[in-house]
Amino acid sequence: MEIDGTRWIYREVMDNGGIKRYRNDREKEEYESNVPLHYRRKNGLPADEMANTLGYESDSEMYEAIQTSERLRRSLTASLSYNQYRAKDFTEYAREELIEIMNAHLQDYPTN
């Protein structure tokens, strides 16, 4: 899936079992700094194999795609939260306005 030219890589990674941790220290550090926790799986593929499976030239290129995808996800999440907040705020405002209109109407037309 692509959004504004950015590949949504999470689903592809998970469909292939997630990304497994490397055993040596250099690659372990690179893995931990580039692979978010929700991409990691104990029985997944090593990063270089996952990159190859997904059609990337290297694990570094895949890491970059993951970081870009995560930035987009965070941005969309923040935007959605803001819009949800605005909708809630508007709903509360509309409710208060409706109550005022109903009260004014009841004063104009007493029920007795």
Please determine, for residue 84, whether its predicted confidence score (pLDDT) is greater than 80.
no
Task: Give residue-wise pLDDT tens across range 21-66.
Answer: 877 767 788 888 899 999 999 999 999 999 999 999 999 999 999 9
What six digits make up the tokens of 97? 């306005």
In Å, the largest CA–CA distance within the chain is 85
Beta bridge partners, 2, equal 7
Residue 80: predicted pLDDT: 66
Handedness of CA 55, 19, 62, 25 (dihedral sign): negative
